[in-house]
A and B are shown apart, each in its own frame.
Chain A
Amino acid sequence: MSDTGFELIGTGLSVFLGDQEVEGPVVWLDTPAAVIEFVSRDSVADSIVLARGGTTTFLTPALTAGVKGVVTLQGHPESHLGILSREYGIPCVMGVGFSAGIQTDRGETIPPAGAILRLDTTESEGRVLIEEGAELEAAPTADPDDAAAAAAQQEQIQLLLTRYRGEIPHGSEGDREMRSGFKTSVMELSRENVDGDLGIEEANELMEYMGWNGWDFLAQRATEGESGLIPRQEYETLGCVNAWQRWPEFFELITDAVGVDGLIEIGGTSRREVGSKANLLHTWCTGFIPSFGRGVLVDLGVEAPEAGAVKIRSALQFMRRLYMGIWDGGPMLTSMRDYKAPLLDDEWITRFQDESSGPADPDEKTLLQKFNATTELMGFLLHFDNRSGLADSGPYPLPGGGFMIVRDHFLNDPMYHWHDVAEGLPHAITQAMVFEPDEEINLALMDGATLFTKPANYLKHLKSMSVYVRDTKDTPISDLRKADHAEMQQIIDRCDEGSSRLYKRIASMPKRDKIMAGAQVYYAEFVAPFARLAGVWDQMVDEHDFFELDPVTSQAYYKLIAGGAAAEMMPRLFLMGTGNPPLQSEPDVDTEAVYPAIHRLALRGSLPEVEGAAELEGAGLIVSTPAGALLTEQGHALHSRLLDAERAALDLEQLGSIYERFLAANSPMKAASSRWQILAEDDDARFELLGELGDLVERVQPVLDRTAEALPRFADHRGRLEAAFTKAEEGDHDYVTAPGVESVHTVWMEIHEDYLQTLGRSREEEGSY
């Protein structure tokens, strides 16, 4: 293939196979400013651009302007840039290492500016050649030891990209291997198993699968390198952390508002509607985003894996309920369904097929391709390089042969202030695309609602297409309307103008603004559509400060961003599948039977004697020390799960108002206890105080009785309080305040603590110490 006049200087991966080579002068784009300057030149369409990383948004203006070819030093064809260059039909070679050229300020070897390059993408190994006569230096030869180490590391990474943890492959075979040892049916949905709480074993199997599933979908992307425009790993990790901190509360709010059935109904939106963000990708993210946020905090050492045991299970169950609506039962993820997601009801497909028309001439074909690529690029940029601007469903097999892919592009969402650049654009446009390929095409619709194909250039088989507009997010689906070519051209023009404006704006933003804006997309994007449908979105924003950061997120910010942890962590967690740390398994005890004993321990911290101590110790829940029995970490974890379950079944508001009456007696009790100690030698005062204590014990009896109606253990509290007071009254004065015995003060404190724990209140917020 190598012609005279050109020499090979580097190889990489062809994003799609082309039938001809392209040539042009190379332009090195390493900053957004360089990109902006470049697109104002006259020579744009003739140029081959060279960039570091494989993300889309950095090269947006160059892609929109229509360059001749793209070369990157890092990255992979599955990346956003890969997808986009395919849609635009721009030849692209990614992950190229150059053997000769000039040195950048970071020591990378690249071809000299203006030298004529030739891209050969006829094979999957893409080749980059340079005209003879260009002034080249050989790339510095690395220290052989370093080179060997780097090669070994590269080999290791390649293995990890090919096989999950070096073992499990991609695709349906990987799916089967992952599930082969599973004991629960968590991956299969049924109306029954989305109803209650998710068990620990179920959550662990699901998270184990999610590690592989995320890798299967995104591992390649995790290595795509830096964006140049947006600090992507930084805002992704930060957004996930904030989602983990805050979403579970919102999930609860949504579920309370519509119930489980209502949630399933909302999940089913993607069967009934196009142009809605309540879709497959967003559903996937309701579980994957917070789970990854948890993984990030655990990896940072900010949170223990058990700390969020209840939260993670409820978040995952929330996701499962939405999936129940999508599939109406059965396998949950597309990886379990041969990577096919023909979600839309048949009526839609019939209508789309009836209304689609083929490109009559090459001009029309160019328009369709340009429309697809431009709206896609705009969607990426508007969502800060997040793929949530795009959602595919299908393939839908068609009666006359061939298949349909239905694709939504989201172009305007009032939730983001920078969408002002999208003024005049509809909320969503929908492309119904009919393909009749004359070659075997392997289609994979990933859980992130993105279509991957082999061979990659599927668009050349486009037979016909129709385009629909959903004007606003609130436009009823019955008002979905078909767009004609004139409107499509108008949308293309607005997208070009909008993306050019937004690119310049983002380029001028300080790093922190970029991170916060990107994190806002990750945080708001996947919960808002469901909250809107449940009718609680405004409440979340107005009453729950939706757009605020959780304090833990702020704490994590500095470690992730200033400390540089995000960039190091992101590929590692994805590649190694360690982003979803498992929960400790349920101990082998009758949890209901041991709850009273461990609850008392949780109230008291330690007790000299515990009922069933041997069994509890055997199960690793308690440990005996000279200070008495203490709960272990597992013991605390089990206790907090059981306590949460108990709380869920209680009317906390009513209990809270009963507790107010206890609290009314609490200050006098503490004051009396203090005076008792201080007035140790004053018999009269102590007689008086015993009377006061007696009054207080009597006063709270109806309060404890009332509490015992909902929580029987408060009857025991009452009994122990009376017994303590009786002993004190009989003259054993240790039974007033002594800490070592079951004194009035000891029991009172325990009762107070029981109220606080059961109500989930802290002493700080209550101001009682």
Chain B
Amino acid sequence: MAGPLCFALSDAPAPDRALLGGKGAGLVEMSGLGLPVPPAFIIGTPCGHAYLAQGALPAQLHDELGAQLEALEKASGLGFGDDDRPMLVSVRSGAPVSMPGMMDTVLNVGLTERNLAALGRDTGDEGFAHSCFERLLESFATTVRGISRGVVEEALLDLDAGAGAQERCAALLGLIEAESGSPLPDAKGQVTEAIEAVFRSWNSRRAIAYRKHKGISDEMGTAVVVQLMVFGNRGSNSGSGVAFTRDPSTGEPGAFGDFLFSAQGEDVVAGERDALPLEVIGERLPDLQAELERVFALLERDTRDLCEVEFTIEEGTLWVLQTRPGQRSGRAAVRVAVALADDGLISREEALERVTPEQLEAARAPVFGTEPSAEAILAQGLAASPGAVVGEVALDPERAVAMNEEGRTVILMRPTTSPVDLPGVIAAAGVVTGRGGRTSHAAVVARGMGRPAVCGVGDLVLSEDRRSASLDAVEIAEGDLVSVDGDRGLVATGALPLSPAEDDPILARYLSWLDNAPSKETHAHQS
């Protein structure tokens, strides 16, 4: 085969999607832009074609793989398969176009029974090391070795009560050997098998169905991305975050997002630990705060749009893991479009195209005109479901139903929500919960029903009769009038004045652009 099969980020040809796949090309692009991307290399689509044609990886790959892994070792100062300072990598699929149905990711490749303890030592958390290993073993068993998920679950269910991650790892190791005939290989073997599994998954039932549905050629093939794993839980100067380059609820300038020290990215996304605002980074690591701001600016200039950024800080070093156009509320869509046009980054026509009809409709819903004063703010939490509403507090789902039947507008406030609260959520015009993040059941349900919701406002302690409660030091009683701002994640005392969205000069300007747009076919303008 002519030319190399593998490409490091720095020496890859220009972001060529056909060769590097979507994910790979994206990484090359980010790296070229000067973003701190964890070291990685990409195995191009030709290798996949060769593998599927011959049923084996080309010999050339093995040589290149060794060299590429060595480069990663050098960059990280770690050793692949090393017992003391183990380097771990992720193996991901990446077709030239988004391709659901393929094997997605194998994480923690390179972890073995021998170097498990070292990871536990470095992260100060032996349990974490075991759960990383368990995750590798589960992926390896099901997606690499093709053991059915049901068989894996049965084996885990057979464990004695009280079994922890360590016992589950032992069970999975046994299962892999028993079901597939050979044990978990060493680091090099793991990465090789994972690469093969990515290529094989091109022909998975779901991937084929998707290509057929979308009319995508079966010839396209996939690339593989092998990237250094970075850990946000390696000590107190580490952490993970998800950031938006502007506030995705309001569109106001300034980065906005969630961050957790000593945590992995999924801890932030899962919302099961209460995340902190980005500002906490600057308090502990001021240099990184500046570095992040530089990254956000770079991204916005490059994409000319609001971006969402997943990042990890490992022992004081910032790594950008993923960026994508940020999901935003209708109001934010309008504000961002106008701001970018004002900055000359996009034209007015582009600005009009950036806002969908649904977003515009949402942006025109009434809002709380002014941000409440500090004294009026009863609670602050996560903006879990957008919208503004004023109503009377109910602290119990049955009371919410009863009050609704009396014709009152109800705000259901609960410490947490369970299905039992559902009638209350249905009866309520807005929802506030003490615990839980944007993915909590309460948030899912509130969004599903279009109820404004604020989640994770703190410890809401109900009285025995559920007619009053305390939230930190604040006393709340049933029937209290409150305002719920699901865009800002605020709950305020009393009825904040609702004002027509058009009072907002930015929206007014956007609407005037729309009215003056030369083409009446602009998709946003259907009236």
Contact = CB atoms under 8 A, between A and B. Distances in A.
Q: Do A and B come from one complex?
A: yes
Interface of A: 301-303, 602-606, 625-628, 630, 653-654, 656-658, 661, 667, 670-671, 673-674, 677-679, 681, 684-685, 687-688, 691, 695, 698-703, 706, 737-740, 745-746, 749-750, 753, 756, 763-764, 767-769
Interface in B446-468: 447-449, 464-465
B63 interface: no
Contact of B405 (A626, A678, A768): A626
A684 B464 CA distance: 48
A605 B419 contact: yes
Given A756-B418, A769-B442, 11 more contacts: A303-B464, A626-B405, A657-B160, A657-B163, A667-B266, A674-B447, A679-B327, A681-B356, A687-B101, A688-B98, A739-B445
Given A738-B448, A739-B425, A753 B418 contact: yes
B252 interface: no
Interface string B253-270: 000000000000010011
A701 B440 CA distance: 23
A661 B153 contact: yes
B206 interface: yes
B426 interface: yes
Interface stretch (B33-41, B292-300, B364-372, B431-439): B431-439
A672 to B, nearest CB: 9
A547 B98 CA distance: 62
A769 B433 contact: yes
Contact of A678 (B210, B327, B401, B423): B327
A677 to B, nearest CB: 5
A602 B162 CA distance: 28
B126 interface: no
A706 B100 contact: no
A415 B100 CA distance: 68
B157 interface: yes
Nearest to A626: B405
20 contacts: A603-B419, A605-B422, A625-B405, A627-B426, A657-B162, A657-B163, A661-B153, A670-B439, A674-B438, A684-B98, A684-B100, A687-B101, A687-B213, A698-B149, A739-B445, A739-B449, A745-B441, A749-B419, A750-B419, A769-B416
Given A605-B397, A701-B150, A656 B418 contact: no
Contact of A667 (B272, B356, B438): B272
Interface string B136-174: 000000000000011001101101111100000000000
A302 B465 CA distance: 8
B139 to A, nearest CB: 12
B65 interface: no
Instruction: Name the 6 nearest CB pairs between A and B, nearest first.
Output: A769-B436, A688-B100, A657-B161, A674-B439, A605-B420, A606-B423
B266 to A, nearest CB: 8
B417 interface: yes
B433 to A, nearest CB: 7
Give the most central of B161, B162, B356, B433: most A CB within 10 Å: B161
B132 to A, nearest CB: 14
Nearest to B206: A691
B448 A769 contact: no
A656 B435 contact: no
B101 A691 contact: yes
A691 B375 CA distance: 47
Contacts of B154: 702
Interface of B: 98, 100-101, 149-150, 153-154, 156-157, 159-163, 206, 210, 213, 266, 269-270, 272, 327, 356, 358, 397-398, 401, 405, 415-427, 433, 435-445, 447-449, 464-465
Contact of B420 (A604, A625, A679, A768): A604
Nearest to B138: A664
A101 to B, nearest CB: 48
B206 A627 contact: no
A645 B407 CA distance: 40
Contacts of B160: 657
B149 A699 contact: yes
A753 B419 CA distance: 7
A630 B419 contact: no
A670 B423 CA distance: 20
Given A303-B464, A657-B160, A606 B444 contact: no
Contacts of A626: 405
A677 B157 CA distance: 32
Contacts of B425: 739
A602 B442 CA distance: 17
A630 B419 CA distance: 13
Contact of B161 (A627, A656, A667): A656
Given A656-B161, A674-B443, A764-B415, A695 B149 contact: yes
A303 B464 CA distance: 7
Contact of B156 (A661, A671, A687, A753): A661
Contacts of A698: 149-150
Contacts of A303: 464
Contact of A699 (B153, B418, B436): B153
Contacts of B153: 661, 699-703
A677 B441 CA distance: 12
Contacts of A301: 464-465
Contact of B435 (A701, A745, A769): A769
Contacts of A603: 419-420
